[in-house]
Structure 1
């Protein structure tokens, strides 16, 4: 499938990288020569210098043959015009990144669908909602739901003294309760077998029925963390604002620290119960005065990665229970495993994941990118005529690095073993490494 993508920033690069791994014919348009050079150096795709709102550039990119158009520049209006033009050229599906809250409010003054936009992605809102989900599950580094929230996946960090230490996975006497789909050890992704042993400092990805997850987590956690009630947010830009707004709805106690006085006034006028503080996050006297050490969670979401990291470390030192740091630069993410930070927030990955969920429609109902790994969880429905129908999992030669994590059959949730049989209309939740994505259709699509 030919895909034309406008914008080679962090989000655009990530989407292009994922789509090209799946053997799509990707063309990327960018007017920043330095960004284009980065794409040329790292990806084997066609690049074109120019604007996505220029008809000549679009035609050079093969817009008439494109089945998908994605515009993710940093300017909302450019994205909107580019999608409108793509629709005029006959592109079936258009995806648009929009940041301005006025364009995405519940009752916007203009109809974006009439402008030719099929999907709107608001990166800041997507990121805020992901943070809310993590705050609601303090024991997990990541939480995802599948099958109408009946199946849950949790990423858990293993600490010294966890209950199942020293035991091989096949010795866990809980058949059908959960499945470990992956282990991240020293930044190496492992698809485990029955003889593997979980080690301290591992990050494990566990699938279970949502109603069983709390009981399942007890096997992997040395101690449970209390519920989060008091949250401090560093940064009053859109992510900070959306996050505070959502937390207010859920009756959290929220403080926002913002250095820019004008931004403070703007968000203070929009928020109802949040305490907005005009101050510098690296002012330790301010942090102590505001009792940051008593916070259940400290969330740093300014546009400055290094500032976010520094202030989170200070907050942790002062006594904050959980720290969440927004990191936009991917080269800084490996450092987090070596410092006392609980969770990295990557708007780039959240946004790319949301777009992938949409464009892989059909039998695929959702796509989830696993944290800072390259792996994915894919939820799909088995159609009539798929090669796997009426076969046991043991008899399906899935490529190494791909496994079935859960089966939803009607109202029944199955955490499968190798003897379980796949049937028509089953909803499967698959774990897979990126190299296998293009091959999944060979097993799960009609022939």
Structure 2
């Protein structure tokens, strides 16, 4: 498929890198230096120009394109790009926006603005924060097969009971599969003799109860589940995160320094306690017993501020911290100094758009460790290489780097083992090394 991407920031670059091997990709950006760099770093056609102009879109081949993705950092620009593309072609358009109000306007009028699919960065980030918050030590969480299957990535600490154990020794869960292990810059496909070490990030796939049970077992809990949630910063992401927690029955606390903004969100969030204060004021934090929180979410405007707030929370004794980072290069720094999870809104957006581009052959996609591996859900057809034989037989013909994590069959969860036979119509959740993804998808 011919794909035109407008905007070569972190989102556009991540999407282009993911699609370059399977699609004919053209990237448009107004920055000549970025265009030159893309020309040499990716197998794409990079064009310097304004994506809102018809002439530029025509140069990019919009009339032959099957998909136009507008992902600049400006909402209005992205909407205009989609509208302009529609004047020359019936191409499918995707717009990235930050404001939820634009998303709600679009949802209220199908096809508004010439946009076929809209992705709201702030809402996606808030939903990611909520998913991660519910599991102790989880770095990433996603659901598959209509909620029947959960995937989670956990960090193993030196105090974790499974540190130093092999997968076979740790495998005492009825419906759980150990899929992969990330160790520094290495990715290891989990096998029975694979030993989990302190510092590893382990990916497990299985029933929600088993995944939660594994999470509970590998960390020392000081409370019975997630009860006290504190959000620092009423940025749009902070506001959306509070609303997400409200919708799931929580009563979070939100700290905002600006008087007008604090009053605005207090009126919009009836089940959130909004406190007007500077979150770096340690006396205020102690007085409000922030140290008793199960989780503190730093959602201020600025990576440095979020780092400072997270470190203060850790110093006070908060169990878990989640920080928003705009600069993806800071992710490793945040986690190195003790921040539990760093969430990058642009990365979440890129993942959602890539999921959508795979809709023709996968049910769902989750990218792990900056797309070093993926967990995909696929419905098995009659011609699939997986159906008919046992998993041991079927996977023997697949490249290294593939683990069958779970099977949904007629609404029931089947825990895969070597002797399990996959049938047509099964929904299979598969962990795949990104280096062999295209080969695996073609086979199954």
**CA shift at 1:369, angstroms?**
1.1
Distance in 2 between residues matched to 1:286 and 1:37, nearest whole Å: 50
Distance in 2 between residues matched to 1:27 and 1:100, nearest whole Å: 26
Q: Which residue matches 2:285?
A: 287
Q: Which residue matches 2:12?
A: 12
Q: Which residue matches 1:306?
A: 304
2:384 is aligned, of 386, 408, 411, to: 386
Q: Which residue matches 1:191?
A: 189
Matched residue SS, 1:299: strand
Q: How many residues align?
A: 442
Q: Which residue matches 2:94?
A: 95
Deviating more after overlay: 167-176 vs 24-33: 167-176
Distance in 2 between residues matched to 1:108 and 1:184, nearest whole Å: 39
| 8 Å contact from structure 1 (residues 234, 301) kept in 2 | yes
**CA shift at 1:378, angstroms?**
0.7
Distance in 1 between residues matched to 2:385 and 2:338, nearest whole Å: 47
Q: Which residue matches 1:76?
A: 75
Question: Which string of whole-angstrom CA distances, capped at 9 and with x for unpartnered residues, describes residues 222-247 of structure 1?
Answer: 55753222222222221011111222
Taking the TM superposition and a 5 Å limit, the aligned residue runs for 1:337-356 are 337-356=335-354
Alignment partner of 1:30 is 2:29: yes
| 8 Å contact from structure 1 (residues 176, 414) kept in 2 | no
**CA shift at 1:368, angstroms?**
0.6
Give structure 2 stretches of 5+ with no counterpart: none
Distance in 2 between residues matched to 1:280 and 1:37, nearest whole Å: 44
Taking the TM superposition and a 5 Å limit, the aligned residue runs for 1:3-402 are 3-20=3-20, 22-40=21-39, 42-105=41-104, 111=109, 113-172=111-170, 174=172, 177-217=175-215, 220-223=218-221, 226-372=224-370, 374-396=372-394, 397-402=397-402
Question: Which string of whole-angstrom CA distances, capped at 9 and with x for unpartnered residues, describes residues 294-327 of structure 1?
Answer: 2221111223112211210011101222110112
Question: Which string of whole-angstrom CA distances, capped at 9 and with x for unpartnered residues, describes residues 239-293 of structure 1?
Answer: 0111112222334332323344443333233222323334433333333343322
Computed over aligned residues only, the root mean square deviation of the Cα atoms, in angstroms, reads 2.4
Q: Which residue matches 1:405?
A: 405
Per the normalisation by structure 2, the TM-score is 0.92
398 and 11 in structure 1: CA distance in 2 versus 1, 3 angstrom threshold: same
| 8 Å contact from structure 2 (residues 5, 28) kept in 1 | yes
377 and 64 in structure 1: CA distance in 2 versus 1, 3 angstrom threshold: same
Deviating more after overlay: 11-20 vs 57-66: 11-20
Per the normalisation by structure 1, the TM-score is 0.91
| 8 Å contact from structure 2 (residues 374, 431) kept in 1 | yes
Distance in 1 between residues matched to 2:243 and 2:213, nearest whole Å: 31
Distance in 1 between residues matched to 2:270 and 2:357, nearest whole Å: 37
Question: Which string of whole-angstrom CA distances, capped at 9 and with x for unpartnered residues, describes residues 196-242 of structure 1?
Answer: 11112222111112243334445544557532222222222210111
Alignment partner of 1:440 is 2:437: no
**CA shift at 1:372, angstroms?**
4.1
**CA shift at 1:48, angstroms?**
1.3
